[in-house]
Structure 1
Amino acid sequence: MARHLLWLLPIVALAACGSRAGGAGAPSSPALPPTVSAPATLLPDGTVPWVDEPAGEREFSLPPPARRVDPNAKPCLAGDLRGELTQWTAPGNSGEPGVPQREPPKLIGYARVANTGQQTCRLHGEVDTRLRDRTGELKIGYSRNVNDEAEQRVTIVPPGESADLRLDWSAPFCAPHDGSLELEITLPENGGKLRAPITATSVPPCGRPSETHPEITSFLASSVFDEPSRETAMDSPLAALTATIEPVPTAKPGDLVTFHVRLTNPTAAAIPLDPGPGYLQERFSQGTAELRAINDSGLYRLNCRPVRSIPAHGTIRFAMGVHIPTELTADRALTVTWRLTAPKLASGPWANLTLTAA
Structure 2
Amino acid sequence: MAAGLLTIVAAGWLWLNQPLPLRDGQPVDYAVEQGSSPRAIARGWVDAGVETDDWLLYQWFRWSGQSRQMRAGSYELSPGSSARDLLRMMVRGDERLATVRLIEGWTFSQWRMELARAEGLKPTTAGLSSADIMSLLGRPGLAAEGRFFPDTYAYAKGSTDLAVMRRALQAMDQRLTDAWSQRTPGVPLRSMDEALILASIVEKETGTDADRAMVAGVFSNRLRIGMRLQTDPTVIYGLGDRFDGNLRKVHLLTDTPYNTYTRAGLPPTPIAMPGKASLLAAVRPAPTRAMYFVARGDGTSVFSQTLAEHNQAVNRYQRQQARRTP
- Greater strand fraction, Structure 1 or Structure 2: 1
Superposed pair shares fold, TM > 0.5 = no
Provide TM-score, normalisation by structure 1.
0.21
Greater radius of gyration (CA): 2
Q: TM-score, normalised by structure 2?
A: 0.22
Structure with the bigger RCO (C-alpha within 8 Å, sep 6+) is 1
Structure with the higher fraction of residues in helix conformation: 2
